[in-house]
Amino acid sequence: MLIILTMACTSGGFPDVVIGKADSADTSWGFDTSSEGEDSQLPEDSPTDSDPPEDTSVPEPSEEEACYLGSDRKGVTCLPLVDYDPAWGEDYEYPDPLSGSAQYRAPVRFLDLYAVDAATKIAPNFVLSEVAQDWKGRYAVYQPHAVERLQEIRDTIGGPLTINSGYRNISYNASVGGAGSSRHVYGDAADMASSVAGLEELGELCADLGAGYIGYYSSHVHCDWRDDPLDPAFYGSAMAPAASPKPIHTATLVPGPSWTAPAEGWDEGEPLREWRAYDAAGALIAESRGERFTPPEGAAEVEVTVGRVVTLRRPAR
């Protein structure tokens, strides 16, 4: 889905010319269970002590289960849920629904990660621990339809798909700088990367699979399915989904010997920056990616696209 975002930014006396927007479609290293022998990494924010917190409480069981695709793709790999308990504290104190949208209502049931097997195959190429880890919250939500989309992407690229971040509870999400309305806390988001597919391909696949929002970062793509119906097992009675608000992204193009493009609205790291330089005849003479860009000799205009959302262009002199 293409959306045109227009803005005007000025710096150094020259107006920024906003010429359009590319695809818009919101970090723990996981592993791909089908790729034997591949190295896996711990994320920078992973705990140094692998032992779970000393919490021996027994939550109230629910009659509901969350049923996932499973290794056989039959959708009958069902895991027990527990009812939400206010005694869990601020880690699970969800904010009031964003803009009154039912898509942002608090879950009423959760997976108890102390009571289920983290190695459960929730899809042919994914296990539960790739989308939910107890050090990001003992109780977790990860919706079956999001798992199905991840497996479809994995099937298409034909190789490992690393899930850098899946579910986060409220406190953990805040600790890593996530937006209060991040879909990571609602269980339908994934930050992903792959050794066999580029960021553009992953983002395009997310778009093809109906992602409500796609965010391009320097090291990963964020995809979420915020506009899909919420899973009743986690959220109670089904409601017709309404269009969800999208993040507001802004950027400024700052000239210099080394050009920069400060940006706001990307809450999970540095957005992808794609630079281009044009000569006086409008021909492309250089392009690169990175936080900074040094125009070559003969450059008449410089252009940057930030996060595949905002494109800015201005004279090089």
Q: What is the mean pLDDT of residues 24-35?
A: 36
State how far Cα 113 lies from the chain centre. 21
Helix (H, G, I), strand (E, B) or coil at 102: helix
pLDDT band at 13 (very low <50, low <70, confident <90, very high): very low
pLDDT reading at 29 higher than 80: no
For residue 115 the two structure tokens come to 């009571």
pLDDT score at 242: 60
Distance in angstroms (rounded) separating the CA atoms of residues 58 and 313:
58
Residue 54 banded pLDDT, cuts 50, 70, 90: low
Q: b or e along 199-218 (b: 16 or more beta carbons within 10 Å of the residue's beta carbon)?
A: beebbbbbbebebbbbbbbe
Question: Which of 85-89's residues contact partners 24+ apart within 8 Å by CB, and which partners?
Answer: 85/59, 85/60, 87/57, 88/139
Report DSSP state, residue 269: S
Provide the 3-class DSSP secondary structure of residue 170. helix
The tens digit of pLDDT for each residue in 86-116 reads 999 999 999 988 767 889 999 999 999 999 9
* 131 has pLDDT over 60: yes
pLDDT over 60 (residue 46): no
Average pLDDT, integer, range 264-279 = 89
What does residue 261 show for φ and ψ, rounded to 5 degrees? -140, 75
Residue 160 tokens read as: 């490992």
61-197+204-210+221-235 CATH fold = Muramoyl-pentapeptide Carboxypeptidase; domain 2 (3.30.1380)
Q: What is the mean pLDDT of the chain?
A: 83
Instruction: Write down the pTM of the prediction.
Output: 0.75
Tell me what the mean pLDDT of segment 221-225 comes to: 97
Give the residue extent of every domain in the chain. 10-24+248-315, 61-197+204-210+221-235
Q: Say yes or no to pLDDT of 277 above 60.
A: yes
Structure tokens at 13: 């006396």
The C-alpha atoms of residue 58 and residue 109 are separated, in whole angstroms, by 14
Note the pLDDT of residue 243.
59
Six-digit token string for 147: 């798992």
- Position 127 confidence tier, pLDDT thresholds 50, 70, 90: very high
Percent of the chain with pLDDT over 90: 67
Q: How confident is the model at residue 180 (pLDDT cuts 50, 70, 90)?
A: confident
pLDDT of residue 20: 34
CA separation for the pair 195, 198 (Å, rounded): 8
Average pLDDT over residues 125-148: 97
More confident residue, 283 or 245: 283
Please compute the mean of the pLDDT values over residues 57-66 and round it to a whole number.
82
Nearest partner of 304 among 263, 266, 267, 246, judged by Cα: 263
Calpha distance 311→182 (Å, rounded): 24
Residues 154-170, mean pLDDT to the nearest whole number: 97
Q: Is the dihedral of CA 176, 195, 224, 63 positive or negative?
A: negative
* pLDDT tens readout for residues 278-316: 999 999 999 999 999 999 999 999 999 999 889 999 998
